[in-house]
Amino acid sequence: MKRAIALTINGVRVEAEVEPRKTLADFIREDAELTGTKLGCEHGVCGACTVLLNGEAVRSCLIFAVQADGAEIMTVEGLAQNGQFHKLQQAFWENHALQCGFCTPGFLMSSYALLQENPNPTEDEIREGLSGNICRCTGYQGIVAAVKSVAGSAE
Amino acid sequence: MEPARRCSRGVGMAGMVPAEGGLPVKPPSFEYFAPTTLDEAVALLAQHGDEAKVLAGGQSLVPMLNLRLARPAALVDLNRVTGLDYVRAENGHVVIGALARQRAVERSADVAARQPLIAAAIRLIGHPAVRNRGTVVGSLAHADPAAELPAVAVALGAEMVVTGPNGERVVAADDFFVSYLTVDLAPGEVLKEARFPALPPRTGWSIVEVARRFGDFALAGAVATLTLDDQGAASDVRVALFGVADRPVRVPEAEQVLRGERPDDDRIAAAAEAARAALVDPPSDVHASAAYRRHVAGVLVGRALREARERAQASG
């Protein structure tokens, strides 16, 4: 039986009626029509579905949309402002931190969360902070370099 | 009068067989409840019996639902119940409530001061996003045999506070973990709190594991604590292994080698060998053979004891 829920995603209120079994990831993609958030493994190991829930990085494939009723969500679409890349996106671009781009939204959200908590991480801290995200294309060096280049700059 | 006990059963992820066309990735339908009090939650669980599962962090349960390895008819979500997310020092223990997130416990000043082994174990769990939602108590109630926190609970002699339709009861960790994903929780019961004894003075600790990648489930792991007396001999030793049986196991054979003796390298090596010899039938699966698990368990017991010794000696 469906339930009415309302979330705020990137500052915009989204309402829908959903089955309890619908994951937050599917809600974001289907009901909010924000397809930046990707589905990789759908069992919590790849990080492609990473979003911020009330400011914390979470795996949206492991949360049901009904659990996020009333919550504030940030997805990759919420990074760029006024048509300008967020500095993380710019850094990913400049450091060749993406190829196919499928893992990229997840990495951007994990990186964003990492830098919110630890604005000046060491390389080890970056690697550990991003350890929950898998990339099949790049070999990670560019991703780490991108986050490093943003680390330490005023947020 | 003790309530009749049955154990909650679940299905594990190891050994899953892909269906035609690949694994399912959407959960089956369930009734969903989000009570705002623990009493309501207990009533709902009692009403639905074996068909209901508690949803807290969801980092173990929801993957099982997504892969359709579990099909509970009802989920009772505890996340709207307030007042369960505490972690604090109390009467020589660290007490952790059902909704305390792993990350919060990892960073707790009380945990760092009183029982750092808990924080060290949490740092081995998954990845930051998993720890933001996952709960310490949930990991204990889920009882994956390769999980770190159940082994820490067994090594330290933690107590589980269970609440249900017949009231509250306390279960020792040794009795709580029954088998693979099976714990001493009857239908309608919820694991409400876990109490870990604080680290005694002059006690070192360690937790070490082997996994294919950092954050993966452990193939095998060891937890050790070592308390030194005034002569530098081990007055108390605890060794527990995880990933080598259907639940975490204490290793008295290793503990006996050291108890009352100075924990020098030779004695620790003998304790490690005793641990290896004591492992009669570790599991063999796609991740590791029985022989490998047995060998690694011995190596890890040695490493854990040496590390615990260094910490004990450093604590003055």
Per-residue model confidence (pLDDT) at position B5: 32
The pLDDT-based confidence of B161 (bands split at 50, 70, 90) is: very high
The pLDDT-based confidence of B4 (bands split at 50, 70, 90) is: very low
The C-alpha atoms of residue B302 and residue B202 are separated, in whole angstroms, by 20
Hey, where are the domains in chain A?
3-78, 87-150
Q: Which residues of A18-29 are buried (b: 16+ CB within 10 A; e: fewer)?
A: bbbbbbbbbbbb
For residue A136, CA distances in Å to A88, A98, A133, A148, B215 come to 20, 10, 10, 20, 18
pLDDT at B70 over 70: yes
Which residues of B fall within a CB distance of 8 Å from A25? none
What type of residue sits at position B27? P
Pair B135, B193: CB distance under 8 Å: no
The CATH topology of domain B205-314 is Enolase-like; domain 1 (3.30.390)
pLDDT at B16 over 70: no
pLDDT at B310 over 60: yes
pLDDT in tens, B80-136: 999 999 999 999 999 999 999 999 999 999 999 999 999 999 999 989 999 999 999
Task: Give yes or no for B16 touching A (CB within 8 A).
Answer: no
Per-residue model confidence (pLDDT) at position B215: 80
Is B87-197 a CATH 3.30.1540.10 domain? no
A42 contacts B129? CB cut-off 8 A: no
**DSSP H helical ranges for chain B:** 38-48, 61-66, 102-106, 109-114, 116-122, 128-133, 136-142, 148-156, 173-176, 252-258, 265-278, 290-314
CA nearest A118: which of A106, A130, A104? A130
Closest residue in A to B32 (Cα) is: A20
Is the torsion defined by CA of B275, B60, B76, A11 positive or negative? positive
- Half-sphere exposure of A57 toward its Cβ, with a 13 Å CA cutoff? 30
Q: Residue holding tokens 């029954």?
A: B178
Give contacts of B 214-233 with A, CB under 8 A: 214-215
CA distance B285 to chain A (A): 20
CA distance B124 to chain A (A): 11
pLDDT at B140 over 80: yes
pLDDT at A155 over 70: no
Q: Which residues of B287-311 are buried (b: 16+ CB within 10 A; e: fewer)?
A: bbeeeebbbbbbbbbbbbbbbbbeb
Structure tokens at B308: 């615990």
Mean pLDDT of B241-270: 97
Interacting residues of A14 by C-beta distance below 8 A, sequence separation 6+: A6, A7, A8, A31, A32
Task: Give yes or no for B138 touching A (CB within 8 A).
Answer: no
Mean pLDDT of A63-90: 97
Per-residue model confidence (pLDDT) at position B14: 41
| pTM reported for the whole predicted model | 0.93
The C-alpha atoms of residue B281 and residue B46 are separated, in whole angstroms, by 37
Per-residue model confidence (pLDDT) at position B214: 79
B133 contacts A20? CB cut-off 8 A: no
Pair A78, A10: CB distance under 8 Å: yes
Closest residue in B to A39 (Cα) is: B25
pLDDT at B2 over 50: no
Task: Give yes or no for B127 touching A (CB within 8 A).
Answer: yes
* Most confident of the ranges A51-65, B1-15, B278-292: A51-65
The C-alpha atoms of residue A71 and residue A65 are separated, in whole angstroms, by 10
Which residues of B fall within a CB distance of 8 Å from A50? 129
Pair B191, B141: CB distance under 8 Å: yes
Per-residue model confidence (pLDDT) at position B12: 39
Per-residue model confidence (pLDDT) at position B20: 52
Per-residue model confidence (pLDDT) at position A134: 97
pLDDT at B24 over 90: no
How high is the ipTM of this complex?
0.95
Structure tokens at A48: 């492609």
Is B2-80 a CATH 3.30.930.10 domain? no
- Three-state DSSP class for A151? coil
pLDDT in tens, A1-37: 899 999 999 999 999 999 999 999 999 999 999 999 9
User: What region does A73 belong to: left with phi over 0, alpha with psi -120 to 50, or beta?
Assistant: beta
Task: Give yes or no for B27 touching A (CB within 8 A).
Answer: yes
Which residues of B fall within a CB distance of 8 Å from A67? 34, 55, 58, 77, 79
Interacting residues of A68 by C-beta distance below 8 A, sequence separation 6+: A5, A7, A24, A27, A53
Mean pLDDT of B27-48: 97
Q: Residue holding tokens 């490093």?
A: A148
pLDDT in tens, A79-119: 999 999 999 999 999 999 999 999 999 999 999 999 999 99
CA distance B127 to chain A (A): 5
pLDDT in tens, B212-252: 887 888 999 999 999 999 999 999 999 999 999 999 999 99
Pair A51, A24: CB distance under 8 Å: yes
> Which residue of B65, B106, B127 is the best one to mutate when testing the A interface, meaning the one whose CB has the most A CBs within 10 A?
B127
Per-residue model confidence (pLDDT) at position A71: 98
CA distance B20 to chain A (A): 17
B79 contacts A57? CB cut-off 8 A: no
Structure tokens at A130: 């991003």
A3 contacts B128? CB cut-off 8 A: no
Which residues of B fall within a CB distance of 8 Å from A23? 26-27, 62, 66
CA nearest A32: which of A80, A84, A75? A75
Mean model confidence pLDDT for chain B: 92
Considering only CB atoms, A131 lies closest to which of B31, B32, B127, namely: B127
Is A3-78 a CATH 3.40.430.10 domain? no
Which residues of A fall within a CB distance of 8 Å from B144? none
Class of domain A87-150: mainly alpha
Chain A residue set in contact with B, beta carbons under 8 Å: 3, 19-21, 23, 26, 39, 42-44, 47, 50, 56-59, 61-64, 66-67, 110, 113-114, 129, 131-132
Which residues of A fall within a CB distance of 8 Å from B27? 21, 23
pLDDT in tens, B143-155: 999 999 999 999 9
Per-residue model confidence (pLDDT) at position B22: 66
Task: Give yes or no for B25 touching A (CB within 8 A).
Answer: yes
Task: Give yes or no for B77 touching A (CB within 8 A).
Answer: yes
What type of residue sits at position A83? G
B28 contacts A44? CB cut-off 8 A: no
Please name every residue paired with A73 in a beta bridge, in sequence order, or none if there are none. A9, A53
Give start-end residues of each CATH 3.30.390.50 domain in chain B.
205-314
CA nearest B185: which of B140, B249, B247, B134? B140
> Which residue of B32, B75, B76 is the best one to mutate when testing the A interface, meaning the one whose CB has the most A CBs within 10 A?
B32
Closest residue in A to B67 (Cα) is: A43
